[in-house]
Amino acid sequence: MNAVVALLLALLSAQEVYKDAQQKPLGYYGPGREEPEPQGLREVLIGYFGPSDPRHPEGGPLWLATTQAIQEANREGGYKGLPFRLVPGWSENPWAGGISTVTRMAYIDKVWALIGSIDGASTHLAEQVVAKARLTLINPASTDRSIHGANVPWMFSCVPGDHLLAPLLVRALDGAPFTLLSATDHDSRAFVTELKSALARSRLLPVSHVEFKTATGELAQRVTSQAVVLVAGARDSARVVKALRSAGFRGPILGGPSMGRAIFVEEAGAAAEGVLFPLLAQPSDSRFPDYAAAHAYDAARLLIAAIRKAGLNRARIRDAVQELSGWQGVTGVIHWDNLGQNDRPALLGTIRGGRVAQAFLPVFAAGPSSSAAATR
């Protein structure tokens, strides 16, 4: 018996007993590619999971950019003469009404692919549907890396993930003492998870970590360190930055990618000057107010290119999206990593003269007051 046990242990030690899904690109190996293109169609439907109201403060710019991409594609001839049409759906409480919306798109409207959503929580929701419906989803805005944690081969993200963005802030801090202020929403928690991992690799810890549900002026009184790292949505980030500056804090303020949104710049006003954050894109097209809108445009144009390449077949459209890795958009190159997320390197950004611009390291070379100078 001992000899048998010893033999089994030897065999196990000689074999790989687990599989790292990130070592090769995810693929779909099931049926569907053999299905013929349907006849008699009058239009090509693409689902859009997000607010379709241009006045929506977070989602309006994304909707307008996606609509613009569809209009341009139709002026180019659509798909073999058939026009593309967006089928929108949204709920301000996605977990209550959003799931039925995405299900309707997948099974009733029978869209060929889906663009969405505006944040990580609602994109996770859509992921549950597309994994079963075998429907490609392109995420234009959320940097949440956990979207790709379930190894769903139908998921693609145009924006780089938090695991690539968080280390930028750690390098910018350069060991300086800092207070971490973070909101409790899904995307903020996801970013903080990656930030803490990056800090641990550098053997760093915040002086204190304050979590909040609602941004208030009282948060400024909790800061006693040289610098602040603020992780929250665009509007909450604007409120906290204004409160910090109004309270007399003059040290560097670093934040998450939401500080690159137009709504942050507008609402923070002069207090936004000099903040530092991961810069997801420097759009070459001035039609787009921020990185989220520009990526929404790229998501739609890339998907249209995939449909034109693959034809009207869901499985082949997924294949074409994957094969288009290295595609040049207005935000830069979109190159999928093995899990389907854009691995384009991000830069450090700042607000200069009320506009998003690239910042440069080192930030703390001459103390906290040097942060503005380092961005010039």
Q: Is the pLDDT of residue 285 over 80?
A: no
Sheet holding 276-279, edge to edge: 208-212, 178-183, 227-231, 253-255, 276-279, 347-352, 355-358
pLDDT of residue 19: 61
16 — pLDDT class (breaks 50, 70, 90): low
- Residue 213 within any structural domain of the chain: yes
pLDDT of residue 349: 95
CA distance 334 to 305: 13
pLDDT of residue 15: 55
- Residue 245 within any structural domain of the chain: yes
- Residue 206 within any structural domain of the chain: yes
Reported as type and span, the H/E element at residue 327 is strand 327-329
pLDDT of residue 12: 58
pLDDT of residue 5: 64
Q: Which two tokens stand for residue 94?
A: 């996605």
Same domain, 272 and 308: no
Residue 221 belongs to a domain with what CATH number? Answer: 3.40.50.2300
Q: Is the pLDDT of residue 376 over 50?
A: no
CA distance 125 to 114: 13
Average pLDDT taken over every residue of the chain: 91
Same domain, 188 and 102: no
361 — pLDDT class (breaks 50, 70, 90): low
115 is in which domain, residue-wise? 24-160+287-334
Same domain, 83 and 108: yes
Range 84-92 average pLDDT: 94
366 — pLDDT class (breaks 50, 70, 90): very low
- Residue 220 within any structural domain of the chain: yes
pLDDT of residue 281: 87
DSSP string, 258-323: GGGSHHHHHHHGGGGTT-EEEE----S-TT-SSHHHHHHHHHHHHHHHHHHHH-S-HHHHHHHHHH
Same domain, 328 and 202: no
- Residue 218 within any structural domain of the chain: yes
Q: Which residue has the higher pLDDT, 362 or 115?
A: 115
Same domain, 84 and 177: no
- What confidence tens digit (pLDDT) does each residue in 50-86 have? 999 999 999 999 999 999 999 999 999 999 999 999 9
Same domain, 238 and 356: yes
Same domain, 155 and 168: no
pLDDT of residue 368: 38
CA distance 241 to 273: 10
Q: Is the pLDDT of residue 362 over 80?
A: no
Q: Is the pLDDT of residue 274 over 80?
A: yes
21 — pLDDT class (breaks 50, 70, 90): low
Same domain, 369 and 258: yes
Q: Which two tokens stand for residue 131?
A: 């994994």
- Residue 155 within any structural domain of the chain: yes
pLDDT of residue 197: 97
- Residue 15 within any structural domain of the chain: no
Q: Which residue has the higher pLDDT, 360 or 176?
A: 176
6: helix, coil or strand?
A: helix
Q: Is the pLDDT of residue 323 over 90?
A: yes
Same domain, 151 and 167: no
369 — pLDDT class (breaks 50, 70, 90): very low
97 DSSP assignment: I
* Cβ(342)–Cβ(159) below 8 Å: yes
For residue 254, the number of C-alpha atoms closer than 13 Å in the C-beta half-sphere is 31
* Cβ(237)–Cβ(206) below 8 Å: no
6 — pLDDT class (breaks 50, 70, 90): low
Same domain, 237 and 108: no
Number of structural domains, the chain?
2
CA dist list (Å): 320 to 131, 179, 237, 313, 364: 17, 45, 38, 10, 45
pLDDT of residue 93: 81
Lowest mean pLDDT among 160-164, 167-171, 363-367: 363-367
* HEC assignment per residue over 129-167: HHHHHCCCEEECCCCCHHHHCCCCCCEEECCCCHHHHHH
The conformational region for residue 69 under phi > 0 = left, psi -120 to 50 = alpha, else beta, is alpha
Q: Helix-strand-coil percent breakdown of the chain, rounded to 5?
A: 45, 20, 40
Same domain, 258 and 320: no
10 — pLDDT class (breaks 50, 70, 90): low
- What confidence tens digit (pLDDT) does each residue in 212-259 have? 998 988 899 899 899 999 999 999 999 999 999 999 999 999 999 999
Same domain, 44 and 107: yes
Burial 128-157, CB ≥16 within 10 A → b, else e: ebbbebbbbbbbbbbbbbbbbeeebbbbbb
375 — pLDDT class (breaks 50, 70, 90): very low
CA distance 25 to 1: 42
351: helix, coil or strand?
A: strand
The model carries a pTM of: 0.90
pLDDT of residue 243: 96
- Residue 90 within any structural domain of the chain: yes
352: helix, coil or strand?
A: strand
